[in-house]
């Protein structure tokens, strides 16, 4: 896995359940596919409108913006920016009377969290809002839910993990064992903190602690206001632990435990979806399920692209975001490879020489082998493996090549 991706993720302060964050970083470290530096972002999630209710799904890791490689590696995530945009759309839609936040998330990064909480709080003053925690509503995800008019949770949902944290690694012992002494030449006490192998002082730790406590205080104040709880009471609950849904009702963090698959009415307190008819709520749940099915289909689509273009994820992601089919992408990739091959040939020409013209008649006969050779050189792999990759990406070119070979064989036989 590219080191720059790990480094980028380590820059953030997190409002995320620690076990989930550890699993996330473990997954990043275990990844072997090298991702290039790409600016492609995942397509924005779309809200569902049914019976005057806007359903906004908040699932997976919460990020301000989601990089394309999340989708490539199957990492579920939701963008704070997308949530705010969907809220704006719901507020500006005359056909929407209420907004329903469907939550199943361990939380995520700090950046964008407060702004999104404020957007939900503002929406709650204009239209009916409610949130439902399916299985997990931890840290940043709960912070968002706290700003809705009411919160329900599934019977076995885990809720809480209120708090903020960041991580620094003191690798001085490791550096010493390797015979390395790291010297940071800096202009101030706190400059250069976190450089691998450099000692982290108590003073530096205290400063970071101040920042973390300050961020936590901001979130605690928002939760207290949203849930109409005493600020000190919320601070007592912000220990980082999780509770089952039933316990959170007693603590005032959740209004009611509700099985969303049940058809009975949710009679939670005012400013909620409880006023909607039973059949309307059931249809909303069905729409959420339909959205999950669409997500699964999207995952299958990505799987096809990974199989076809595993060695060029940047190209694959670009094609996915453009809405191309796998067949269209394969045709496009053949042209991309031809262009790369032509540029490579032109670059090899002696100074003053005319570039070699592309021979369209030789497409089937020459291009397949030339593309395979170019792939083998580019990826430093065996020719046989390169031919397999080109065949997988452009079976038409391979078939044409085989037919040409058969034709040549018949001529020799004569």
Beta strand segments in 199-259, E: 242-244, 256-257
Per-residue tokens: 131: 């949130």
Q: How many degrees, rounded to 5, is the angle at CA 22 between CA 21 and CA 24?
A: 60
The structure tokens 């002494």 sit at 181
Alpha-carbon gap, residue 144 to 192, rounded angstroms: 34
pLDDT of residue 273: 43
pLDDT at 294 > cutoff 60: no
Helix axes 368-379, 383-393, angle to 10 degrees: 120
Band (43; pLDDT cuts 50, 70, 90): low
Q: Give residue 261's pLDDT.
A: 65
Claim: this prediction has a pTM higher than 0.75: no
pLDDT for 298 beyond 50: no
Q: Where are the alpha helices (DSSP H) in 148-201?
A: 172-177
Mean predicted lDDT score pLDDT of the chain: 77
Residue 285 has pLDDT above 50, yes or no: no
Q: How many CB atoms within 10 Å of residue 390?
A: 26
Q: Which helix (H) or strand (E) holds 253?
A: none
Higher pLDDT, 320 or 353: 320
Write out the two tokens for 168: 């620094």
Rounded Cα–Cα distance for residues 105 and 15 (Å): 11
Candidates 3.90.226.10, 1.10.10.10, 3.40.630.10, 2.170.120.12; CATH matching 3-297: 3.90.226.10
pLDDT at 264: 39
Q: Determine the average pLDDT of the residues in 148-176.
A: 88
pLDDT in tens, 214-259: 999 999 999 999 999 999 999 999 999 999 999 999 999 999 998 8
Is the distance from CB of 157 to CB of 137 less than 8 angstroms? yes
Within 8 A by CB and 6+ apart from 395, the residues are: 330
pLDDT at 312 over 70: yes
Predicted confidence at residue 91, as pLDDT, reads 96
Sequence spans of domains, the chain: 3-297, 325-413
pLDDT digits (tens, 9 = 90+) for 4-37: 666 667 667 788 887 887 788 777 777 655 554 4
> In the chain, how many H helices and how many E strands?
16, 10
Q: Give the whole-angstrom CA distance, residue 280 versus residue 53.
A: 9
Q: How confident is the model at residue 404 (pLDDT cuts 50, 70, 90)?
A: low
Checking if the pLDDT of 262 tops 70, the result is no
| Cβ burial, residue 382 (10 Å; 0-12/13-18/19+) | exposed
Question: Cα 341 vs. chain centroid, distance in angstroms?
Answer: 34
106/96 Cα distance (integer angstroms): 28
Q: Give the pLDDT score at 114.
A: 95
- More confident site: 347 or 294: 347
């Amino acid at each position: 896995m590219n080191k720059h991706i790990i480094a980028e993720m380590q820059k953030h302060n997190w409002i995320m359940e620690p076990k989930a964050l550890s699993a996330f970083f473990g997954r990043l470290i275990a990844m072997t596919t090298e991702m290039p530096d790409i600016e492609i972002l995942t397509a924005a999630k779309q809200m569902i409108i049914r019976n005057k209710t806007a359903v906004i799904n908040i699932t997976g890791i919460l990020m301000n913006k989601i990089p394309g490689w999340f989708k490539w590696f199957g990492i579920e995530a939701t963008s704070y920016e997308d949530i705010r945009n969907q809220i704006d759309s719901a507020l500006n839609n005359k056909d929407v009377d209420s907004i329903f936040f469907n939550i199943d998330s361990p939380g995520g990064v700090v950046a964008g969290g407060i702004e999104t909480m404020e957007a939900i709080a503002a929406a709650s003053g204009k239209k009916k809002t409610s949130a439902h925690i399916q299985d997990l509503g931890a840290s940043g995800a709960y912070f968002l839910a706290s700003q809705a008019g009411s919160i329900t949770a599934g019977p076995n949902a885990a809720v809480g993990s209120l708090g903020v944290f960041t991580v620094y690694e003191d690798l001085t012992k490791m550096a010493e064992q390797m015979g390395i002494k790291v010297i940071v030449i800096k202009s101030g006490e706190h400059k250069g903190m976190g450089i691998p192998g450099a000692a982290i002082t108590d003073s530096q730790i205290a400063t970071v602690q101040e920042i973390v406590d300050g961020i936590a205080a901001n979130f605690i104040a928002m939760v207290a206001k949203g849930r109409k709880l005493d600020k000190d009471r919320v601070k007592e609950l912000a220990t980082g632990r999780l509770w089952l849904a039933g316990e959170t009702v007693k603590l005032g963090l959740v209004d009611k435990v509700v099985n969303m698959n049940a058809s009975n009415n949710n009679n939670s307190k005012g400013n909620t979806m409880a006023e909607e008819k039973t059949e309307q709520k059931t249809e909303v749940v069905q729409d959420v399920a339909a959205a999950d099915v669409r997500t699964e289909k999207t995952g299958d689509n990505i799987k096809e692209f990974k199989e076809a273009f595993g060695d060029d994820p940047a190209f694959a992601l670009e094609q996915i975001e453009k809405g191309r089919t796998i067949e269209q992408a394969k045709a496009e990739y053949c042209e991309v490879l031809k262009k790369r091959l032509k540029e490579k040939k032109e670059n090899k020409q002696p100074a003053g020489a005319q570039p070699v013209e592309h021979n369209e008649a030789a497409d089937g006969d020459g291009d397949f082998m030339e593309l395979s050779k170019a792939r083998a050189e580019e990826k430093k792999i065996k020719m046989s493996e390169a031919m397999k990759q080109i065949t997988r990406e452009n079976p038409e070119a391979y078939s044409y090549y085989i037919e040409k070979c058969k034709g040549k064989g018949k001529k020799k036989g004569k």
